[in-house]
Structure 1
Amino acid sequence: MADVAFLGLGVMGYPMAGHLRAAGHSVRVYNRTAAKAEAWVEEHGGTSAATPREAAKGAEFVMTCVGNDDDLRAVCTGADGAFAGMEEGAVLVDHTTVSAMVTRDLAAIAAERGLGFVDAPISGGQAGAENGQLSVMCGGEEGAFARAEPIIGAYSKICRRLGETGAGQITKMCNQIAIAGLVQGLSEALHFAQKSGMDGEKVVEVISQGAAGSWQMVNRHKTMLADEYDHGFAVDWMRKDLGICLDTADEIGASLPVTALVDQFYKDVQRMGGGRWDTSSLLKRLTRDQ
């Protein structure tokens, strides 16, 4: 069992930290809103800390799951950041979806301090976090990954190292690119079925068993048909992720025309007041005038 710090108790981090505690690890948590950390301790045990540095002090592993590049820099660097509290040989595992650039910058700082660093973005949504069934895609030095993998196992169904630092973030970008196209295609299919007078549920029952089937179709079609979008991964976060994908595509010379288009469709959803709706709300954009 390990001494672990977990920084960031949002919809993903809160249950992930809980799985670590349930697995028997000693867990200290930090959250920008202290009341959330206190609630976690009351539910799961463990302890909370007032700063990332305090949480990370003496920890063998420090897990981060925050919002964006700036949030990650804030919890890692500075006088009260996690790096300031970590001892040589400790490993920081970052589960945030951020740019490969900030990942490489922070990994370099960690290396200068004798710390390990694994970029380990996650996929599986809130349900995956709550059920301990996340897909974790990792980048970083092999030794640091090998040490961290058993700890990550508390909340993952698959955890793989894809390459050196930044490889995990690049893989997560591939994940988001694929999801964007899938959700738009599913939204159009359901919209088309409804406009044709078909029963969407019956249509999905058949086509989900063939080549059109996908996780999104199986797990989201019912709530989409019911016009319910108050679960899962929010549009605001998806736009953040797609922005990272598109910026990186410009840097490496990749062409992402469908991703760029779907990003604008999500912008439309935001304008409809759906920034906190689930990403499957692309259907809402198509049916808003019905």
Structure 2
Amino acid sequence: LDAPVSGGQAGAENGALTVMIGGDEETYNAAKPIIDTYSKFNKLLGPAGNGQLAKAANQICIAGVVEGLAEALHFAMKAGLNGEDLIETISKGAAGSWQMENRYQTMLRDEYEFGFAVDWMRKDLGIALEEAQRNGVKMPLVEMVDEFYSEVQKSGGGRWDTSSLLTRYTRK
């Protein structure tokens, strides 16, 4: 089985990960009782390799959401909006997301020494971009955000949380 996870350190510590699984059904069924101990949700998505492809799709979504959140917070700061009040409000509507709920406070405090590292995100986005190229899929947003993460790495932020995209705007 290939069985990448989503949910971060907190999800791992609380047995609340989402597991994206590739492999054969018999092996999955044998492993499921163990996987259930650390996951809130797991699903067999087809043959071996499909777990990694699902993780790539997950990271594509996260990359766009985090960049959108970084731009929104930067916009709010420059416009004179209170970041806490803004997020309290917009997180209750269609813009709400796990990233917004769990990362906006540390983004506003310029704290990034935790979480899912930029280095790991670049690895995952690289996998996604390679697979997209093999399949003739254009992903301009992912290419752009991957380049933005490259800039964060070059500034010494390879181990910072992925929410550190905001530093591209605030630390210039």
Scaled to the shorter chain, the TM-score interval is: over 0.9
Find the aligned partners of 1:195 and 1:131 in 2 and give their Cα distance. 37
Write out per-residue CA displacement over residues 150-169 of structure 1, whole angstroms, 9 at most, x where no aligned residue.
11111111011111121111
1:253 positional shift: 1.2
Tell me the equivalent position of 1:161.
Answer: 44
1:252 positional shift: 1.0
Find the aligned partners of 2:140 and 2:43 in 1 and give their Cα distance. 29
Kindly provide the amino acid, as one letter, of the partner of residue 169 in structure 2.
L
Tell me the equivalent position of 1:139.
Answer: 22
- TM-score normalised by structure 1 residue count: 0.59
Write out per-residue CA displacement over residues 22-66 of structure 1, whole angstroms, 9 at most, x where no aligned residue.
xxxxxxxxxxxxxxxxxxxxxxxxxxxxxxxxxxxxxxxxxxxxx
Contact 1:127 1:232 survives alignment (8 Å): no
Kindly provide the amino acid, as one letter, of the partner of residue 28 in structure 2.
F
Find the aligned partners of 2:32 and 2:72 in 1 and give their Cα distance. 39
Kindly provide the amino acid, as one letter, of the partner of residue 150 in structure 1.
P
Kindly provide the amino acid, as one letter, of the partner of residue 243 in structure 1.
G
Q: Does 1:277 align with 2:160?
A: yes
Find the aligned partners of 1:127 and 1:137 in 2 and give their Cα distance. 17
Tell me the equivalent position of 1:182.
Answer: 65
Find the aligned partners of 1:196 and 1:219 in 2 and give their Cα distance. 23
Find the aligned partners of 1:168 and 1:248 in 2 and give their Cα distance. 13
Find the aligned partners of 2:58 and 2:74 in 1 and give their Cα distance. 24
Find the aligned partners of 1:130 and 1:181 in 2 and give their Cα distance. 26
User: Which of 108, 111, 119 in structure 2 is aligned with 1:236?
Assistant: 119
Find the aligned partners of 2:137 and 2:33 in 1 and give their Cα distance. 35
Structure 1: gaps (5+ residues) = 1-117
Find the aligned partners of 1:119 and 1:270 in 2 and give their Cα distance. 28
Tell me the equivalent position of 1:197.
Answer: 80
Kindly provide the amino acid, as one letter, of the partner of residue 186 in structure 1.
L
Structure 2: gaps (5+ residues) = none
Tell me the equivalent position of 2:98.
Answer: 215
1:231 positional shift: 1.1
Write out per-residue CA displacement over residues 170-228 of structure 1, whole angstroms, 9 at most, x where no aligned residue.
11110000000000000000000000011001000000000100000000000000100
- TM-score normalised by structure 2 residue count: 0.98
Find the aligned partners of 2:144 and 2:90 in 1 and give their Cα distance. 25
Q: How is 1:1-290 mapped onto 2 (pairs within 5 angstroms)?
A: 118-289=1-172
Name the Cα RMSD after superposition.
Answer: 0.7
SS in 1 for 2:80: coil
Write out per-residue CA displacement over residues 102-122 of structure 1, whole angstroms, 9 at most, x where no aligned residue.
xxxxxxxxxxxxxxxx11110
